[in-house]
Chain A
């Protein structure tokens, strides 16, 4: 059974870089069947997709965050990571990592079937 676990600092100062890691257990980030995503959710608000990475290192980012986001994968540690630069209070949220599948079958599809429990990151001085 695949499990994902987010880790990283819970408090980040404004203008600094937010760094989170997602550790995958019971499965492999090297799998060619899945993508690995980051999603966030400010308190009391909806879900926001941040971006995804494939085992090859191919990435896609949300257009609204693209200039500040980097997602990377470390197959040796079975982890993938998120870096978000120049953070402000608006980046305060619960951050989730998730496993996703994507493709085309009459229609395009992309869904995330395994999620981590989430980690709260607060941006404050």
Chain B
């Protein structure tokens, strides 16, 4: 079982806002990073550290954290945002890396 918990699936209407959450005790000491994975493709980093986006990631992607929960928010979801999203962070020992189980986002 993962130390990070994500809802298996979330849906959002085109153009609306969606929040994907990630829960785990390690998030009280470690930032979450978020990865987007489209079918048949490698994961792509979309958010890291407090709320940083790599070059080329649209600003509709943002991250936040409170207590043991990290969130990825997509403001104005687009059809191309339909993908699996994974959070990751250091584990509770801050020695290793762990991934959440992933959330499948459907854009309706």
Contact = CB atoms under 8 A, between A and B. Distances in A.
Given A46-B102, A47-B102, A108 B90 contact: yes
A108 B30 contact: yes
A49 B96 contact: yes
A33 to B, nearest CB: 14
B29 A107 contact: yes
Nearest to B94: A108
Interface string A3-44: 000000000000000000000000000000000010100000
A62 to B, nearest CB: 6
Determine the interface band of chain A, counting residues with CB < 8 A from chain B.
20 to 34
Given A60-B96, A111-B48, A49 B31 contact: no
B99 A47 contact: yes
A115 B35 CA distance: 11
Determine the interface band of chain B, counting residues with CB < 8 A from chain A.
20 to 34
B107 interface: no
B54 A96 contact: no
Contacts of B88: 47, 49, 110-111
A106 B45 CA distance: 21
Contacts of B21: none
A48 interface: yes
B42 A115 contact: yes
Contacts of B41: 117
Contact of B96 (A46, A63, A111, A118): A63
A49 B90 CA distance: 11
Interface in A69-125: 96, 105-113, 115-118
9 contacts: A47-B35, A49-B99, A96-B42, A107-B31, A109-B49, A111-B33, A111-B48, A112-B35, A116-B42
Interface of B: 2, 29-31, 33, 35, 37, 41-45, 48-50, 54, 86, 88-90, 94-102
